Structure 1
Amino acid sequence: MSIVRIGTGAGFQGDRIDPAVDLAKRGELDFLVFECLAERTIALAQLAKLKNPKLGYDPLLERRMRAVLPHCVRSRTRIVTNMGAANPRAAAERTSAIALELGLRDLKVAAVLGDDVLDRAGPLVLDETGQRADALGGRLVSANAYIGVASIVDALDHGADVVICGRASDPALFLAPLIHKFGWASNDWTRLGRGTLVGHLLECAAQVTGGYFADPGVKDVPGLANLGFPIAEVSADGNAVITKLAGTGGLVTRATCAEQMLYEIHDPARYYQPDVIADFSAVTLEEIAPDRVAVHGADGHPATGRFKVSVGYRDGWLGEGQISYGGSNCVARGELAGAVLRERLAEMRGRILEDRVDLIGWNSISPGRARGDTPAEVRLRYAARCSNRDSALQIGEEVEGLYLNGPAGGGGVFSSVREIIGIASTFIDAADVTPSIAFMETPHEIA
């Protein structure tokens, strides 16, 4: 029976590189997928592209490609990734140049284009505000549709060794290689649903091999320092076995797979994707051997004909300052420091759009005060969304001023300022999005 082996090389932009190299070296993979893109990530990438049209792709693309390309070429493992972010063409060009530098002259690199729908976003109504996107005016930065598998499959069908996308649906990065290898029809909803489940289980990398699962004394996970990334062994019917490389840390169990299957799923019976509505409601997970879980029973229904669109817009500036208080009465001193900051910054009310005071270690995550003994130390964090950069800078300055002008014993000040990119969502008709592929010509010399 034909089996396709897909491994995950990354589950987010800043993910570790060593596990991906291990997969490339000894995973015996057909495909290695790097899923690195989030909603805010692509908006920030659009800002980077505005500043420099040669940028806008994943900042770790070069390091990842240099690390895995030689091994992938040797093992004939093909790469699919969304590290193109806001600039897939530039990412593909850079990957092609890296291949030449590494002596890999026959590498075929494809860019998947067409997810950028900023020029069509104006009339789209945003879910969060009920207003049209063009009401944002000059604050509107990006609009990217979650495209499906079609162009990725097309690139693979035309022999691409590396396929670099921008904003594609996360599971589509894994579903497309399966469609390419098995020849599934675009209306084979059951197999598309099963392939989507495979993608969903793999897309967050170490989450399914125990990383995000670990909770000492409750859910113990061995070898976290050497955590392995997941592999799916997928059959032609779309059912699969989830596993990892021998000798790596972590674990693959029914529980790790169940947690990941339900991650970010509102309705397991209707998981909306650009190519299919996946149905996970009858899925069975069976531990068939150590670190091997058989996944059966996913289904699918016809797609909606609409793509989700992630809209990025400028939403002010974040000014932040932190300072620590330790020892006796530290919570009271931290609370006093927060009250002093708000009083001193009262004159900025028109420029401070919203703010919050947290005592990290006491009330920064749980609402209200945490139960239990008073901590031995807390860290005050004052953060404010401001209308302009100068006001945001003043936030950190006031926190630093607490050294000698606030409660006793403060220390370890940190401050930062950054522009805030807000994210909103909407939908666009699939017919209004026209993805395409572009193959890179291998350069004859390094620029």
Structure 2
Amino acid sequence: MTGRKRGIRIGAGSGYAGDRIEPAVELAAHGDIDYLIFECLAERTIALAQQLRQRSPELGYDPLLEARMRAVLPLCAQNGIRIISNMGAANPLAAAARVRQIAAELGLRKLKVAAVTGDDVLAVLQRDPQAGQRCQPPLGEGVGMLSANAYLGAQSLVAALAQGADVIISGRVADPALVLAPLIHEYGWAMDDWQRLGQGTLAGHLLECAGQVSGGYFADPGYKDVAGLARLGFPIAEVDADGALLITKVAGSGGCVTAATCKEQLLYEIHDPAAYMTPDVVADFSRVEVIEDGPDRVLLRGATGRARPDTLKVSVGYLDSYLGEGQISYAGPGAVARASLALDIVKERLRLTGVAVGEARYELIGMNALHGERLGAASGPYEVRLRVACRTTSLADAIRIGNEVETLYTCGPAGGGGASKLAREVVAICSTLLPRALVQENIHFEESEHAVA
């Protein structure tokens, strides 16, 4: 590591919306970190959050926001750790307001909370669907858009940090930008320093899935054994002024950080390692060196980049169809034959009753959920779970899928049990590109008050 004696240390507090909270607490308490980031948005998350906001205007942000903030805010305030997160989802302003309320309830005085908005471009695409490029299905051709969110970069996050934000809550920003922003802020990197931005984007990409780079998603028993997954430690990136970085984790936590875990995460969701397109830079990871520097310490260097794209990626959520599903279990001698007959019955029933289905799955799943390992038959499955799942164009037809499976209790083969059913809307995603000039970012500040230190 070059530059300052101790690089900026950034901890990954989550890798998706429902991630564990304990590793983030461990990072805040024992990670000796400067920043804690929470990455919580998958492709469909905002579209689903937008549905929730339409029903309850005060909601639409990450459902674990309150639990996470109550767990880490006191530790972060005590240890001087700043928080950056996209937990705002479809409603960053409401999320930031809730963080301020929580801070006041916890007795944290003058906590500066910023909300970054501007990623919601639904109105832009509703006015002019042709502004979006290369979307499949094409926008405006019967596509009922539910949400449209541009992937913002680090710029507004950097501005919020420069104005003293202790906590930043955003909507859709590119995952690596959560890590890149504090590096730009701390080291004064120029927004066109493509080499350093490429290296900082590498740090962000390695942290964005949290426990994946510290052994979680990496584990494969007998081939890639990883100890302590029940208390997996989330990763820390230590980055110097030139962008060289070290990936590590809290000493004594579960999991592992190795050259292999870092290489797998390096290639995760990367279409072209030489041209990883983000809002801030087109990063080039093709010459990255990965060097183990001791137990749970991996050095990475050699990333670079070139000028950022002229457009921003936009994820568009739309109502695609409905899904009907039903499940039921069969166990004991002849389980497979009885379940296969049950599938045939459901297929015929859907035909006879005129249920219009599109894509359909008729499946038999299972081995040992009902009666345990000891009763399983070595010659074949002792138990199976039947699953029927079909796309439909109406909720009424989706409901009938599960109903037909449930009637197997008494109208199908012997011994069916544990039936379940569901019917729901299918929210699908398509991606498009939008000129940067059509996206207006904003920062909203307010300090928490009414607190006693």
Whether the TM-score (by the shorter chain) exceeds 0.5 is: yes
> Could you report, residue by residue, the CA deviation over 1:133-188 in whole angstroms, capped at 9, with x for unpaired residues?
22235x21000000101100000010000000100000011111110111111111
1:345 aligns to what?
350
Does residue 309 in structure 1 map to residue 279 in structure 2? no
Match of 2:43 in 1: 39
User: Is 1:420 matched up with 2:432?
Assistant: no
8 Å contact kept, 2:131–2:434 = yes
Match of 2:325 in 1: 320
Matching residue within 386, 394, 406 for 1:400? 406
Alignment pair present for 1:252 and 2:261: no
> Residue 39 of structure 1 aligns to which amino acid in structure 2?
E
Q: Pick from 79, 93, 97: which aligns with 2:97?
A: 93
- The question of whether the paired residues in 2 share the 8 Å contact of 1:124 and 1:426 is answered with no
Tell me the equivalent position of 1:180: 185
Letter in 1 for 2:38: F
SS in 2 for 1:269: coil
State the partner residue of 2:164.
159
Please say if residues 136 and 431 of structure 2, whose CA atoms lie closer than 8 Å, have aligned partners that are also in contact: no
TM-aligned CA deviation for residue 320 of structure 1: 1.1
Q: Among residues 203, 224, 227, which one is paired with 1:222 in the alignment?
A: 227
AA partner of residue 180 (structure 1):
H
Q: Deviations over 1:109-143 (max 9, x none)?
A: 00000000001112245645352x22235x21000
Match of 1:435 among 437, 441, 444: 441
Matched, 1:8 2:12: yes
Tell me the residue number matched to 2:79.
75
The CA distance in 2 between the partners of 1:51 and 1:440, in whole Å, is 26
- The 8 Å contact of residues 235 and 248 in structure 2, kept in 1 or not, is answered as yes
Equivalence for 2:239: 234
1:383 aligned residue = 389
The correspondence for 2:130, drawn from 106, 117, 123, is 123
Task: Judge conservation of contact 2:110–2:449 (CA < 8 Å) in 1.
Answer: no
Asked if the contact 2:321/2:391 (under 8 Å) is kept, the reply is yes
Q: 1:276 is matched with which residue: 278, 281, 296?
A: 281
Is 1:149 the equivalent of 2:166? no
Contact 1:127 1:424 in 2 (8 A): no
Equivalent residue, structure 2, for 1:366: none
8 Å CA contact 1:174, 1:196 repeated in 2: yes
SS at match of 1:129: coil
Matched residues in 1 for 2:142 and 2:317: separation?
A: 10
- Residues 329, 52 of structure 1: alpha-carbon distance in 2 compared, 3 angstrom cutoff: same
1:229 deviates by 0.3
Q: Is the 8 A contact 2:361 2:388 kept in 1?
A: yes
Cα distance, 1:196 vs. partner? 0.5
1:431 counterpart letter in structure 2: A
What is residue 108 of structure 2 aligned with on the other side?
104
Equivalent in 297, 302, 308 of residue 302 of structure 2: 297
Mapped partners of 1:170, 1:160: distance in 2: 19
State the AA in 1 paired with 2:94.
A
- Structure 1 residues 401 and 315, CA, compared in 2 at 3 Å: closer, same or farther? same
Q: Secondary structure at the match of 1:417?
A: strand
1:288 counterpart letter in structure 2: D
In structure 2, how many angstroms separate the alpha carbons of the residues matched to 1:168 and 1:348? Answer: 47
Aligned length: 434
Q: 1:347 to 1:174 in 2, by over 3 A?
A: farther
Q: CA deviation at 1:252?
A: 0.3
Distance 2:94 2:68 in 1: 16
Structure 1: gaps spanning 5 or more residues: 363-371
Amino acid paired to 2:286: S
CA distance in 1, matches of 2:354, 2:13: 46
How far, CA to CA, are the matches of 1:304 and 1:47 in structure 2? Answer: 31
- 2:22 corresponds to which of 18, 22, 46: 18
SS at 1:134 equivalent: coil
Change (3 A) 1:130 1:400: closer
Deviation at 1:276, TM superposition (A): 0.4
